Amino acid sequence: MDFNELMQSEDLTRNYEIQDINANKPMGILAYIGLLVLVPIFTARESKFAMFHAEQGITLCIAAHVIGLFAWIFSLIPVVGFIFGILFGLVGLVVFLLMILGIVNSVNGQAKQLPLVGKFTLIKLQ
């Protein structure tokens, strides 16, 4: 698998009704802001668009927390911890950029999977 394959993401917008998209863009935005992903999960369960973004957001949130845990563990190792600290800092930047991309997709009314993590569904909400 090369870089271009990793960065491709499927656009599923055609599967969602325009009224649902327009009414639930704010819930889609919240889905990418850390633990605020719980807001659409508990308040917009009837919205397929909001649940799509909640699934993407919770996958990203869980991945970020797992990466953070590994970063903390490796930071305890002298010398190696410094090297891994730089590496995990770059990974954290990638996670932040994916959050921004998810928010932009939601604002634009798109149901596009996030690159790298979008194909994985850790929790099925729909």
Tell me the domain boundaries of the chain.
16-107
Q: What is the pLDDT of residues 61-108, one digit of tens each?
A: 998 989 888 888 888 888 888 888 888 888 889 999 999 999 999 999
Q: Is the pLDDT higher at 103 or at 9?
A: 103
Q: How many of the other CB atoms lie within 10 Å of CB of 106?
A: 27
Answer for the pair 53, 32: CB distance below 8 angstroms, yes or no: yes
pTM across the whole model: 0.86
d(CA 73, CA 5): 31
Residues 6+ apart with CB under 8 A from 80: 74
